[in-house]
Amino acid sequence: MARVPYASAVGSLMYAMLCTRPDICFAVGMVSRYQSNPGPVHWQAVKRIFRYLCGTSDLILCYQGGDLRLRGYSDADWASDRDERKSTTGYAFLLSVATISWCSKKQSCIALSTIESEYVACLAAAQEAVWLKRFFQNLRVTSLADEAVKMYCDNMAALSHAKDPKYHSKSKHIQTRYNYICLAITQGEVILQHIPTSRMVADPLTKVIAGDVFQAHVRSLGLCLLFQILGSYTGHPLPGAKVVAAMLMFGTVSGILMALFLNTSGGAWDNAKKYIETGALGGKGSDCHKAAITGDTQVLLMFPFGVVLANV
């Protein structure tokens, strides 16, 4: 493992996770815990995350207008760390329909119960909520920034303790500093409400979940397919063939803009199709040429992060 660029690979994954991919936040957090002494199983996990990014490189965060109320989701996985038996905190804050802030990290303390782990996670989320509220107030872009931030938790016991902390066997040992959430609620900074686990957006930020549930939460985080977004801007579904051809001819960014133009100009697209049919893009027999001639249902398109299957 000495020659394996483990730290460099994890750093690259962190860059993607921090910028636009909250869906890999938990996985990247897990592999980053073993940078000092990684093993073969950890390296396999890193490569699997890269493969996931390759297969989902057309997923992007889509921010839209409308209701600009900030809302947050807080969750925790109790004693999930097998080495130290520490819990994992996860939270996500959405503005309108997409995530603007997310986190998945190991808690610094050892929680003795699920109540404590959820309570600690609520504290971290409340701190982020107050900071985001101040940030939007300073920007003065919306009057809704003065309203209390709604936060959702799926643990009734932690929610009750945050609203009215009482001393009993499972919570009397919780450190005083974690009661900041109570102060934030009293001062009207945040409003803590219960939500079912099935609707907990922050669930994939704390634990491994079933594939279908994970995909549903990915959509709830605001991650959308690139081709769907482009089609929504034009008012018509954007055929994959136009995107593929435009990207191959003009590059990724310029190709997207050109595809939008081609989608609204039938004559221009017909000319581009003829250009493909001549074999100018890599010669006759290339994937793009075959798609234009035979109408194949899929074309392999090389992106900077991997291979994407685009429908034709």
| Per-residue tokens: 213 | 């549930």
Position 223 scores a pLDDT of: 93
Tell me which residue of 259, 307, 264, 263 sits closest to 287, measured CA to CA.
307
Four-CA torsion 281, 286, 288, 292, nearest 10 degrees: 100
Residue of higher predicted confidence among 14 and 3: 14
For the chain, the structural domain boundaries read 6-57, 70-223, 238-311
Q: Is the pLDDT of residue 310 over 50?
A: no
Query: What's the rounded Cα separation, in Å, for the pair 268 and 279?
Result: 18
Residue 118's pLDDT band, with cuts at 50, 70 and 90, is very high
User: For 226-244, what is each residue's pLDDT tens digit?
Assistant: 776 665 555 554 444 444 4
Query: What's the rounded Cα separation, in Å, for the pair 42 and 54?
Result: 19
Task: Name the architecture of domain 70-223.
Answer: 2-Layer Sandwich (3.30)
| Structural contact between residues 159 and 194, judged by C-beta atoms closer than 8 angstroms | yes
Work out the mean pLDDT of the chain and round it to a whole number: 78
| Structural contact between residues 59 and 257, judged by C-beta atoms closer than 8 angstroms | no
Q: For the chain, how many residues are written?
A: 312
User: For 136-169, what is each residue's pLDDT tens digit?
Assistant: 999 887 778 899 999 999 999 889 888 877 656 5
Query: How far is Cα of residue 296 from the mean position of the Cα atoms in its chain?
Result: 32
pTM of the model: 0.73
Position 281 scores a pLDDT of: 44
Position 179 scores a pLDDT of: 82
| Structural contact between residues 51 and 41, judged by C-beta atoms closer than 8 angstroms | no
**Number of neighbouring beta carbons within 10 Å of residue 4:** 14
CA atoms within 13 A on the CB side of 206: 25
Which residues are CB-neighbours of 80 under 8 A, at least 6 positions away?
Answer: 86, 87, 88, 206, 207
- Please state the φ and ψ torsions of residue 309, each to the nearest 5 degrees: -95, 115
Measure Cα distances from 114 to 45, 119, 124, 164, 182 in Å: 27, 8, 16, 17, 18
